[in-house]
Chains A and B, each alone.
Chain A
Amino acid sequence: MKNLRLKSARAAFDMSQQELAEAVGVSRQTINAIEKGDYNPTIKLCLAICHTLGKTLDELFWED
C-alpha cells in the first residue's frame, strides 16, 4: 500500500526523495520503495524520517 502521507509530508518540506534519503542516511531507492509500499522500514528508520520531517510515527506510518 502506498504511503501517500510520507510523500505529502516530504513535499510539504519541499524535499526530493534524494534529499530525504541523504538526511536519514539511506539510498534514494529505499525512500522510493517506502513511498510505494514495497518496503516496510524498521522502527529506527521510521523515527529518523519522522524527526527529519517533524512528524510523529502515527502521522506518517499508522494505518487505520
Chain B
Amino acid sequence: MKLSVFYFLGILAGIGFGAVVLMIRKRRGCECHFDERQEIARGKAFKHGFFAMLLFTLAAMGAESIWGDAWMAPAFWQGLAACGGITVFAVSCIWNDAYFSIQEKPTRTFVIVGAAAAANLLNGLSHIGDGQLDMMILSLTVSAMFLVILGSVVLKMIHDRRNPQWEEE
C-alpha cells in the first residue's frame, strides 16, 4: 500500500498535538502526581494491559496462520494489539480510581479523548470501503479505544454517584 504525504502529515499533526498538550500541562504545573495507592493500582493495570497485548498478539498470529494476511494487513493486527493493551490498562486504572492524578480535573480529559475519538472515527469511516483491514482503518480501532475509555469514565462516575462509598457513615 502506497501511503500519501497526507498520511505522514497526519502523523506529524498528531505528534504535534500531543506535544502541545504536554507543554500546556507542564506550564500550568500539572505534574500528574499519583499517590502511593494509585501507583500500585497503575502498576497492576499495566501488568493487565501488557498481558492483554500479548494475548491480542497471539490471537493475531493464530488468525494469520489460519486465514492468511490477504484481508488484514499485519500492521492492523499490531495496532489492534497495542490498542487492546492500552484499553485494558486504562479501564483497569479507571475502576481503581487511579486514572486521574490527584489534582487532575476529568473535564480536560473528556475534551481531549472525545476529540481524538471523533477525529479517528472520521478518518476510519472515510477508508472503510477499501477492502482490506489496513493501517488506515486502524483509526476505527483507535477511535473505539478512546470511546471505551470515555465510556468507562462516565460509567465509573455514575457508579460512584449511585454508591457514595466515601460517605462518612
Cβ of A29 under 8 Å from chain B: yes
A-B contact pairs, 6 of them (CB 8 A): A16-B168, A29-B166, A30-B36, A30-B37, A30-B38, A42-B36
Q: Given the complex of chains A and B, what is the CA–CA distance between A39 and B36 in angstroms?
A: 10
Closest to A7 in B: B168
Q: How many residues of A contact B (CB 8 A)?
A: 18
Cβ of B35 under 8 Å from chain A: yes
How many contacts between A and B, using CB within 8 angstroms? Answer: 36
Closest to B34 in A: A27
Q: How many residues of B contact A (CB 8 A)?
A: 10
Interface residues of B in 96-113 (CB under 8 A from A): 97, 102
Which positions in B face A, CB cutoff 8 Å?
33, 35-38, 97, 102, 165-166, 168
Task: Please determine whether A11 and B168 come into contact, CB atoms closer than 8 angstroms.
Answer: yes
The secondary-structure label for the interface of chain A is: helix
Interface residues of A in 34-51 (CB under 8 A from B): 36, 39, 41-42, 44-45
Task: Please determine whether B97 and A29 come into contact, CB atoms closer than 8 angstroms.
Answer: yes
The secondary-structure label for the interface of chain B is: loop
By a CB distance below 8 angstroms, the chain A residues around B36 are 26, 30, 41-42, 44-45
Q: Given the complex of chains A and B, what is the CA–CA distance between A35 and B19 in angstroms?
A: 40
A37 to chain B, nearest CB (A): 13
B51 to chain A, nearest CB (A): 23
Cβ of A5 under 8 Å from chain B: no
Q: Given A30-B35, A33-B37, A39-B37, do A25 and B165 touch, yes or no (CB 8 Å)?
A: no
Q: Given the complex of chains A and B, what is the CA–CA distance between A58 and B65 in angstroms?
A: 62
Cβ of A55 under 8 Å from chain B: no
